[in-house]
Amino acid sequence: MSALQKLAVFVVGFAVAFYFYSTSDKFEPEMLNGKRVIVTGASSGIGEQMAYHLAQMKSHVFITARREERLKQVVAKCLELGAASAHYVAGSMDDMAFAEHVVAEAWKTFGGLDMLILNHIGNTSFGYFDGNVDHIRKLMEINFLSYATMTVAALPMLKESGGNIVVVSSLAGKVPTPFTAAYSATKFALDGFFGTLRHELILQNFNVSVTLCVISFIDTDTAVRVVSKVIRQPPAPKQECALEIIKGGILRKREVYYAYEATKIPLLIRDWAPEYLDSLIRMNYNIENIKNPE
Ligand SMILES: NC(=O)c1ccc[n+]([C@@H]2O[C@H](COP(=O)([O-])OP(=O)(O)OC[C@H]3O[C@@H](n4cnc5c(N)ncnc54)[C@H](OP(=O)(O)O)[C@@H]3O)[C@@H](O)[C@H]2O)c1
């Protein structure tokens, strides 16, 4: 390598390092103080933990899911933890009128919105694809169309506040994994839609950030129940996951990777050695614990 080439490598390396380390990365909990935030899928799992973090940071919290009793309990705990206010509305995200209704209720309650965290998912089958196209359609409505519907309804408020859209996705929304055909399709759809939206908001000079969260196996009750007998890797903690999602949103990051190594390393391998990555992924499953299709 000539001296000039070495210098070029050094300059490019320095520029890349400078770009990554100079972007505003200093999170302070006060950044969420008084922010008006919607969290979907907050009756359990990562969404519930996000509600508690936001409450401790003194945000105004507006949560939704189907189970009203659970939502009431989460709201009560949010108030105990110090939320500026806490509200809920119960219903199902397979109904787009309900998705719009959630945003309308938040507008009535807060008169505006600073952050929209889209996190809910419908019941997901985990196993060989059984040809059930109705399941794909249903999951597309809950995991994807309701996200788009809520975003459309919330955008005027977010443009006004210079706010944040935070989309909780999965490694399965970046890299196909076995036994999650419908779920994976819905998560890939999120990447396409919200990636395009991010471009267009920037091109039109709207100060609304879009953060896509790429999440690995997390220790929520649902995930542990459904996949722990099949996936060899241990789950990462939901509390920390929830905090990283909130941090990424308020810092206006393009993407969040949690757990970092479990998501970032497969993505680095993906474009250079896809067959190798596929074989690594398949080795991560105890397939003897998966039921064969009829
Ligand atoms: N846990 C993981 O290993 C993992 C890995 C990668 C990505 N993620 C992502 O992280 C997010 C949260 O996952 P999680 O593990 O925390 O899930 P979870 O504990 O099962 O929570 C899902 C939430 O969605 C709600 N929900 C379910 N069906 C709904 C419907 N039809 N309408 C409205 N709300 C509905 C549930 O409440 P109700 O039952 O009360 O409606 C619950 O609050 C998801 O986007 C998931 O894809 C999780």
Tens digits of residue pLDDT in 205-257: 999 999 999 999 999 999 999 888 899 889 999 999 999 999 999 999 999 99
What is the residue with the minimal CA distance to atom 45 of ligand 1? 119
Ligand 1, atom nearest to 120 Cα: 24
Residue 6: band (very low, low, confident or very high) from pLDDT cuts 50, 70, 90:
low
CATH number of the domain to which 231 belongs: 3.40.50.720
- The count of domains in the chain is 1
* Residue of 70, 77, 26, 73 whose CA lies nearest to 54: 77
Query: Which residue bears the tokens 């005027």?
Result: 156
Query: Which residue bears the tokens 């169309």?
Result: 145
Tens digits of residue pLDDT in 167-194: 999 999 999 999 999 999 999 999 999 9
Residue 174 is assigned to a structural domain of this protein: yes
Residue 162: band (very low, low, confident or very high) from pLDDT cuts 50, 70, 90:
very high
Residue 6 is assigned to a structural domain of this protein: no
Residue 191 is assigned to a structural domain of this protein: yes
Does the N-terminal peptide bond of residue 17 adopt cis geometry, omega within 30 degrees of 0? no
pLDDT of residue 276: 97
Q: What gap in Å lies between CA 68 and CA 6, rounded to an integer? A: 62
The more confidently predicted of residues 291 and 121 is 121
Pocket-testing residue among 72, 220, 260, ligand 1, by greatest number of atoms within 8 A of Cβ: 220
Instruction: Give the 3-state secondary structure of residue 171.
Output: helix
Residue 292 is assigned to a structural domain of this protein: no
Q: What gap in Å lies between CA 148 and CA 141, rounded to an integer? A: 10
* Residue of 260, 262, 236 whose CA lies nearest to 248: 260
Burial of 217 (0-12, 13-18, 19+ CB in 10 A): buried
| Residue 189: domain span | 29-287
Q: What gap in Å lies between CA 40 and CA 58, rounded to an integer? A: 18
Residue 15: band (very low, low, confident or very high) from pLDDT cuts 50, 70, 90:
low
Residue 16 is assigned to a structural domain of this protein: no
Q: Which of 138-147 are b and which e, b meaning 16 or more Cβ less than 10 Å from the residue's Cβ? A: bbbbbbbbbb
Residue 12 is assigned to a structural domain of this protein: no
Residues with CB under 6 A from ligand 1: 41-47, 65-67, 70, 92-94, 119-122, 142, 168, 170, 215, 217-218, 220, 222-223
Residue 180 is assigned to a structural domain of this protein: yes
Q: What predicted TM-score, i.e. pTM, was given to this entire model? A: 0.94
The one-letter code for the residue type at 89 is V
